[in-house]
Amino acid sequence: MTRPSGPYLRGQRIDPTAITGAEQIADLVDNAFLAYNAGRLREGCQLFTTRMLQPDTTVGMSLTGAMTPAGIGMSCLIPLMEAGFVDWIISTGANLYHDAHFALGLALHRGRHDADDVELREKGVVRIYDIFFDYNVLLSTDAFVREVSARPEFQRAMSSAEYHYLLGGYLREREAALGLSKRSVLSTAYELAVPIYTSSPGDSSIGMNVAEQALAGSQLRFDVSADVNETAAIVLEAKRTGGKSGVLIAGGGSPKNFILQTEPQIQEVLGIDERGHDYFLQMTDARPDVGGLSGATPNEAVSWGKIDPDQLPGTVVVYADNTITLPLLTAYALQRVPPRPVKRLYDRREAMMERLVTEYRAALAFRDQRADDAVGDRGGR
C-alpha cells in the first residue's frame, strides 16, 4: 500500500558525484556535505552567500575561542573584511591581543597538545593547546600596548572601537616598518574602518595593561555604555536605510550575547520600534541543553526579541570546530560571491549615533505622553 508522504520526501535526493580531487571547495561543500553537521555547514555557507551577503545587508561578526593564535585572523578574517563580507566585529580581547603578535613580527609555532607543561614553563614556552610561543612574546606585546596607550590621544574615555582603531593604526605603522602586510586583524580593520568592539574590555591582556596604566595616572578609560549604544546604532542604521542585519557568530560567550543584545537594547530599553536581526549563522561546539548562552538556539533568541521571528528560515547553527568551519566558509564565500564595497562603518559612527538618539528621544516623548494620558484617564474616573 502506497502512503502519501506529504512534504517529507521533497528534499533533494542524496546522490553525490564521486570526488575526483579537482573540486573547488565550494563545489565540494555543495556536492558532498549532505547530512549531519556537514549538511548544516552547507546550509550555513549557502545562507551566508545567498542572503547575508546581499548588498543591503550589514554583517556583524562575533568571535570567541583562541582563533587568532591559530592563524584564523590572517587566513579568514582579513580576507572576509577586505572582500566586504564582514562589516563590524565583536571579539574577545584575547583574540585582539594575540592578533597583535603577528603585526609586531613575533613568532607563534605549531606544537603538541600533549606536551609536558611543567617542562614548557621551565623553558619559558607558553602553550595554547597545540600552539607554542616564547614567553617574551607576551612581554614584548605588553610593552607595545603600554607604550601606545600612554600617548596623548588615548588619555580620555572612549569606546572599545575607538581604542582598537587607534591601536590598529600603530600596529599598521609597525607592520610597515617591519616590511609586513596583512598580518593583523586590527591593522586591517584600521585601514578599512571596520569597527571592532570587545564586550569585556578588562578580560584580556590588553585590559590588564590598561589597568596597570590607570594606577600610574593614565586617563584612558573604556566607555562600555558607548559600546552598547554604538553597536545598537549600527544595527538600527542597517534597518532604517532599507537594509537588513545579519550576524555571523563564531563560538559563543559574551561576544555572542553582545552582538545579539543590540536588538533588545533598541526595542526593550530604548523603546524604538524594531523587529530583530534578519539572519543568524552560528558555528559552535556548545550544546543548547545546558542552558548557557553559548549554545542557545535562534528559536530561543526570538523570545528575547533578538531575532525577527519571521526570519527563522534565515537561521542556521553548525556544531563544529571553528578552526575547521571558518576556513571552509571563507573559501566558499570568496568562490561564490564577488567582493562587496567596504561599508567603512567606523567613519559613520557619529551619524549613526545621531539617528539612534533622535529615535530614542521620539520614543521617549511618545512614552511620556502615553503616561500623561493614562494619568488623565484615571483622574477622569
- For residue 337, give the C-alpha cell: 560571491
Residues 42, 30 contacting (CB under 8 angstroms): yes
Q: Which has the closest alpha carbon to 352: 199, 238, 243?
A: 238
Q: Which 3-state string (H, E, C) describes 177-224? A: HCCCCCCCHHHHHHHHCCCEECCCCCCCHHHHHHHHHHHCCCCCEECH
CA geometry: angle 82, 92, 219, nearest 5 deg: 100
Q: Which of 164, 171, 176 is nearest to 345 (CA)?
A: 164
Count of alpha carbons within 13 Å of 177, Cβ hemisphere only? 9
Catalytic position from the list 239, 244, 256, 306: 306
- In angstroms, how far is CA 286 from the centroid of its own chain? 17
Residue 306 is among the residues annotated as catalytic for this protein: yes
Do 34 and 223 touch, CB atoms closer than 8 A? no
* Selection from 299, 200, 207, 202 nearest residue 256 by Cα: 200
Packing angle, helices 322-336 and 36-47, rounded to 10:
40
Do the beta carbons of residue 47 and residue 279 sit within 8 Å? yes
CA 61 – CA 89 distance, rounded (Å)? 5
Residue 163: name the closest of 96, 80, 94, 108 by CA.
96
The residues annotated as belonging to the active site are: 306
